[in-house]
Amino acid sequence: MDIRPSGNSIEVTNSSFLKWRSPSRPPMPRSGLGLSNDSIRLNANESPYGPIPEVQQRMVAACSRVNRYPDVAATALRNSLGQHLGIPPSQIIVGSGSSEFIHMLTVAFGGEGAEVVVPTPSFPMYSVSVSYTKATLVSVPINADDGTVDLIAMYKAITDRTSLIFLCNPNNPTGGQISLAKVKAFLQRVPDHVAIALDEAYWELTDAFIDGVETSLALCEQFPNLIILRTFSKFYGLAGLRVGYAIVHNEEIATRLGSIRVPTMPNTIGLEAALACVEFHQFYLQRARDVVVERTRVLQIVKSLGYEPFPSQTNFYCMPFPLGIDPFVKMGIQVRGGDTIQMKDYVRISLGTMDENNLALEVLRKHATSVTSWSSGEGGTK
């Protein structure tokens, strides 16, 4: 399949579990580059900022309790989230990041003969989790123009055997976001027997969330077969602690997930850190605003260099770059190459600090002429 940045197709490559799990090629030492770390991690969509002092203090205090198992029900965190989100705590299930819920959902709905529909390319854990079950994976190409999930194609892929659908919004690795109006219209057409997992790992970094324009929470009451997945890894920057939650209005689905969930996860320190983050939500909201400002700056520069990145509503951007990761590796920068995101001749670059982003931009600036010539068909084989 031919790939052209402005065309209507994306060449999807096979991304094995081992490729996805393995780290990017180790970058060269960055001595003399003016930054303290051994390498710049712009490959995992992490927050470049650690926990605020108030959260760190709570984490340290929680260390004195690690001889005891954590609260299986995560009562304090669920109560705090319920108050913060304006929903009953009974509709919230806490787990070890979104990935645990993805796995739980595929176990709960991925029985023999079932079909699980996923967008492609998207978060690899969907297909990885399905591979552990007896269900059949049904991959649906995303919209090539803006990197969003193709809801029309997803709907056409539904059959009587479909048991579960994953929607990544905004989508990873492209960053494209579907409006909630379109998501609602899609949900209205999906049969009641199909569970829909709306993965909102990056939701708090979208313009709609920052501006307080849209929220998906009301959809759970309207559509009992909907499960919303969120994480503390991105917006709150707790990727190393693995804390996330699912919002489930349907008691039957909640019971099925509860019967699969490991009862002692997440850990005591993670629960306390997440609780503190919710209490200091306004501070993290300002951090998210800063991310949006930096995202706008970086994308404007990238476009001015002649590149054609997908519109992004996340803390990363994705674009054609046939040179792969090598130019970044030589500068001590880790990014995601096409083989790990299922997109041939593309790279995905996370947003870091301004200094880190500027170094990545220097790489793009250095190779702009050759890459943009390739994109326009003037050089190289596509």
pLDDT at 258: 83
Provide the pLDDT for residue 5.
35
d(CA 151, CA 174): 16
Q: What is the pLDDT of residue 375?
A: 61
What is the per-residue pLDDT for 14? Answer: 52
Q: What is the pLDDT of residue 20?
A: 43
Query: Is the CA virtual torsion 85, 264, 268, 96 positive or negative?
Result: negative
What pLDDT, on the 0 to 100 scale, is given for residue 261? Answer: 81
What per-residue confidence (pLDDT) applies to 13?
56
Token couple for 87: 């929903």
**8 A C-beta contact, residue 316 and residue 334:** no
167: β partners: 198
Burial of 71 (0-12, 13-18, 19+ CB in 10 A): middle
Yes or no: say if 309 and 302 are a contact pair by the CB < 8 Å rule.
yes
Q: Which among 163, 174, 165, 195 has a CA at the least distance from the CA of 45?
A: 174
Which pLDDT value is given to residue 221? 87
pLDDT values of the chain reduced to their tens digit, one per residue, 382 residues: 222 333 445 666 554 443 444 444 454 444 444 444 578 999 999 999 999 999 999 999 999 999 999 998 999 999 999 999 999 999 999 999 899 999 999 999 998 999 999 999 999 999 999 999 999 999 999 999 999 999 999 999 999 999 999 999 999 999 999 999 999 999 999 999 999 999 999 999 999 998 887 789 989 989 999 999 999 999 999 999 999 999 999 989 998 888 888 777 789 999 999 999 999 999 999 999 999 999 999 999 999 999 999 999 999 999 999 999 999 999 999 999 999 999 999 999 999 999 999 999 999 999 998 776 666 554 433 2
Between the two ends of the chain, the Cα-to-Cα distance in Å is 10
CA distance 9 to 21: 26
pTM above 0.75, yes or no: yes
* Strands 226-231, 92-95: pairing kind: unpaired
Number of C-beta neighbours around residue 377 at 10 A: 9
φ, ψ at 225 (rounded to 5°): -90, 10
Nearest to 364 by CA among 330, 321, 313, 335: 321
Phi, psi (deg, nearest 5) at residue 352 = -115, -145
Hey, what domains does the chain have and what are their CATH numbers? 17-50+282-371 (3.90.1150.10), 53-280 (3.40.640.10)
